[in-house]
Amino acid sequence: MDKASFHGHDVHHHHHAIPASVSGVFILCIVLNLLFVLIEAAVGFISNSVGLLSDAGHNLSDVFSLLIALLAIRMAAMKASRKFTYGYKKLTVLASLANAVILLVAVGAIIIEGIARITHPQEVSGQAISWTAGAGILINGFTAWLLMRDQDKDLNIKGAFLHMAMDTLVSAGVVVSGLVISWTGVLWIDPAVSLVIAAVILLSTFNMLKESLFMSIDAVPDSADMDRIEAGLSGISGVRSWHHLHVWPMSTTENAATVHLVLDDISAMVSVMDQARRVFDAAGVSHTTIECEPEGCSCPDHDCR
């Protein structure tokens, strides 16, 4: 019998669709945050508060982040074509990476301005800071609440939720700085709070930056458990060995994998493939391509394990 006739090939996939309602939530979040950015920036200029201006700049970056994420999510839902056979799902990964970079740029601007204001403090209105940041607590908190339900469905949604939740805490910090300035007249509190804001943003952004960067170069995503996959494949009855195991992200919500299984008995191929699919599904991989080959198959291009 021809060697090729021994090879079994199976492709399996299912989709983790992002709810259509998410688009509406993103649009509402964008409108609310854009209005607040305009108000906060205006009050910041009038009251000469670098804390408010830095927070407004960060909130503006959040608006851009929400826009990028919304665009990526919508494009990911578009059908595949002959040119883009995977569709446009990878844009969700690039959007996540772009959002992380935007946040880092915002952090750099906040740090530079905050240090300048500490060395050259300027008069600010503590009451204006407190009232405006208080409004920020309401808007950011409401936005975070809207995104919280779907945060586990997509890295971009999770990133947006974390930003909004963190902004709520940051606004609370700005309220405190405004009250302290009103009570004590200590002006360096305002830029000091802006530096704390920068540190908080940096810490919250690092993991998302690392994960989105790794995903953009097709590293194994955090949502796929490689140890579980390897142990599961090795534990399938009838599998002598396996090789050419590759796992990569198709998007921020879907992972893909390929593997070659060497079987003791090629007639058990259907049962083995079914068990292998379950292993991948349980480990967070929704798209699998499984190829089976008999023991002793001479394949010079295979680096058999």
Q: Tell me what pLDDT residue 303 has.
A: 46
pLDDT given at position 168: 79
pLDDT at 142 > cutoff 50:
yes
DSSP state of 221: P
Mean pLDDT of 213-236: 90
Determine the topology of domain 221-294 in CATH.
Alpha-Beta Plaits (3.30.70)
The residues of the chain that CATH labels 1.20.1510.10 are 21-216
pLDDT: is 155 or 9 the higher one? Answer: 155
The stretch 185-210 carries a mean pLDDT of 78
Residue 10, φ and ψ in degrees, nearest 5: -140, 135
Most confident range, picked from 38-47, 201-210, 251-260: 251-260
Residue 34, both tokens:
């854009």
Report which of 127, 268, 252, 106 is spatially closest to residue 185, judged by C-alpha positions. Answer: 127
Range list of β-strands (E), the chain: 8-13, 239-249, 255-263, 287-294
Position 22: which residue type? V
Residues above pLDDT 90, as percent of the chain: 14
Task: Calculate helix-pair angle for 189-216, 50-76, nearest 10 degrees.
Answer: 20
pLDDT of residue 20: 55
- The residue-averaged pLDDT of 212-233 equals 89
| Token pair 């409004």: residue | 135
- Claim: this prediction has a pTM higher than 0.75: no
Residue 250 clears pLDDT 50, i.e. is over it: yes
Is 21-216 assigned to CATH 1.20.1510.10? yes
Confidence band for 305, pLDDT divided at 50, 70 and 90 = very low
Please tell me the predicted confidence (pLDDT) of residue 276.
Answer: 93
Cα–chain center distance at 177: 31
Query: Residue with structure tokens 């200029």?
Result: 45
Mean pLDDT of the 162-180 span: 77
How confident is the model over 67-119, as pLDDT tens digits?
877 887 787 778 888 888 888 888 888 888 887 887 788 778 778 877 877 78
Contacts of 67 (CB under 8 A, 6+ apart): 30
Closest CA to 259 of 241, 238, 283, 237: 241
With tokens 């579980």, the residue in question is 228
Is 47 or 142 the better-scoring residue by pLDDT? Answer: 142
Q: Average of pLDDT values for 36-44?
A: 84
pLDDT for 196 equals: 81
Which residues in the chain are classed under CATH 3.30.70.1350?
A: 221-294
Q: What is the pLDDT of residues 158-168, one digit of tens each?
A: 777 877 777 77
DSSP string, 270-295: HHHHHHHHHHHHHTT--EEEEEEEET
Burial 108-144 (b: 16+ CB within 10 A, else e): ebbbebbeebbeeeeebbbebbbebbeebbebbbebb
The stretch 234-247 carries a mean pLDDT of 91
Range with the largest mean pLDDT of 55-59, 67-71, 295-299: 67-71
Residue 301 has pLDDT above 70, yes or no: no
